[in-house]
Amino acid sequence: MSIAKFDTIGQYLLKRLYDVGVKHIFGVPGDYVLGFYDLMVKSPIRHIGTTREDSAAFAADGYARCLGMGALAVTYGVGALNTVNAVAGAYAESSPVIVISGAPGVREQIDDPLLHHRFGPFTFQREIFERITCATVVLNDPVIAFRQIDRAIIAARRFCKPVYIEIPRDLVMAEGYPMPAEAMEPLVSDETALSEAVVETMELMAKSVSPMIIAGVELHRRGLQRALIELVERAHLPVVATLSGKSVIAERHPAYLGIYEGAMSSENARYMVEQSDLLLMLGVTLNDIDTGIYTAKLDPHHMIRAALNEVVISAHRYPRVVLADFLTALIHSMNRGRDEFPLTSVAFETKGFPEANRPITTIRLIERLNQALSTDMVVVCDVGDCLFAAIDLRVHEQSEFLASSFYTTMGFAVPAALGAQIARPDRRALILVGDGAFQMTGTELSTHAYLGLNPIVVVFNNRGYSTERCILEGPFNDINNWRFDRLGEVFGPLNGYDAATEAAFEEALINSLNNQTMPSIINVHLSADDASSAMRRLAEHLKSRVKGDEG
d(CA 82, CA 53) in angstroms, rounded, equals 6
Percent of the chain whose pLDDT exceeds 90: 79
Q: What is the DSSP string of 374-402?
A: -TTEEEEE-SSHHHHHGGG---SSTT-EE
- CA 504: distance to chain centroid? 31
On the question of pLDDT at 532 being above 90, the answer is: no
Strand arrangement, sheet containing 316-319: 256-259, 239-241, 211-215, 278-282, 303-307, 310-313, 316-319
Sign of CA dihedral 46, 52, 53, 55: negative
- Number of C-beta neighbours around residue 131 at 10 A: 10
Q: Is residue 178 a contact partner of residue 147, using CB atoms and an 8 Å limit?
A: no
The rounded distance, in Å, linking the Cα atoms of 148 and 142 is 10
Q: In this structure, are residues 364 and 392 in contact, taking their beta carbons and an 8 Å threshold? A: no
CA atoms of 461 and 432, how far apart (whole Å): 11
**pLDDT, tens only, 58-103:** 999 999 999 999 999 999 999 999 999 999 999 999 999 999 999 9
Q: Is 117 left (phi over 0), alpha (psi -120 to 50) or beta?
A: left
Q: Which residues pair with 70 in a beta bridge?
A: 97
pLDDT tens for each residue of 309-325:
999 998 899 999 999 99
Residues 218, 290 contacting (CB under 8 angstroms): no
Burial class (CB in 10 A: 0-12, 13-18, 19+), 48: buried
Partners of 166 in beta bridges: 101, 138
CA distance 229 to 219: 11
Residue 294, sorted as left (phi over 0), alpha (psi -120 to 50) or beta, turns out to be left
At 551 the pLDDT is 43
Q: Does residue 345 have a pLDDT over 50?
A: no
DSSP structural state of residue 241: E
- Mean predicted confidence (pLDDT) in 151-165: 96
Could you tell me the end-to-end alpha-carbon distance of the chain, in angstroms, rounded to an integer? 70
Is 143 a residue whose pLDDT tops 70?
A: yes
Q: Is residue 186 predicted with pLDDT exceeding 70?
A: yes
At 541 the pLDDT is: 67
CA distances from residue 523 to 7, 155, 316, 496, 504 in whole angstroms, order as listed: 51, 42, 53, 8, 10
* pLDDT value of residue 537: 73
User: Phi, psi (5° rounding) for residue 222?
Assistant: -95, 5
Residue 227: how many CA atoms within 13 Å on its side-chain side? 20
Interval 196-217: pLDDT, tens: 999 999 999 999 999 999 999 9
Per-residue pLDDT tens digits for 270-298:
999 999 999 999 999 989 889 988 889 99
Cβ–Cβ < 8 Å for 435, 484: yes
423-462 residue pLDDT tens: 999 999 999 999 999 999 999 999 999 999 999 999 999 9
Edge to edge, what strands does the sheet with 495-499 contain? 401-403, 377-381, 428-434, 456-461, 520-525, 495-499
Backbone φ and ψ for 24, nearest 5 degrees, come out as -140, 140
Q: What homologous superfamily does CATH list for 362-543?
A: Thiamin diphosphate (ThDP)-binding fold, Pyr/PP domains (3.40.50.970)
pLDDT of residue 6: 63
Q: Are 9-171 and 362-543 equal in CATH topology?
A: yes
CA distances from 143 to 39, 104, 179, 476, 486 (A): 20, 19, 9, 55, 54
Identify whether 354 is preceded by a cis peptide bond (ω within 30 of 0). Answer: yes
What are the boundaries of each domain within the chain? 9-171, 191-333, 362-543
pLDDT surpasses 90 at 32: yes
Q: Catalogue the E-assigned strands of 171-230.
A: 211-215
Tell which CATH classification among 3.40.50.1980, 3.40.630.30, 3.90.1010.10, 3.40.50.1220 matches the domain 191-333: 3.40.50.1220
Q: Give the E-state strand segments of 337-441 in sequence order.
A: 377-381, 401-403, 428-434
Contact predicate 29/37, CB 8 Å = yes
Residue 432: beta bridge partners? 381, 458
> What residues pair up with 459 in beta bridges, in sequence order?
433, 523
Options 3.40.366.10, 3.40.50.300, 3.40.50.970, 1.10.1040.10; CATH for 9-171 is: 3.40.50.970
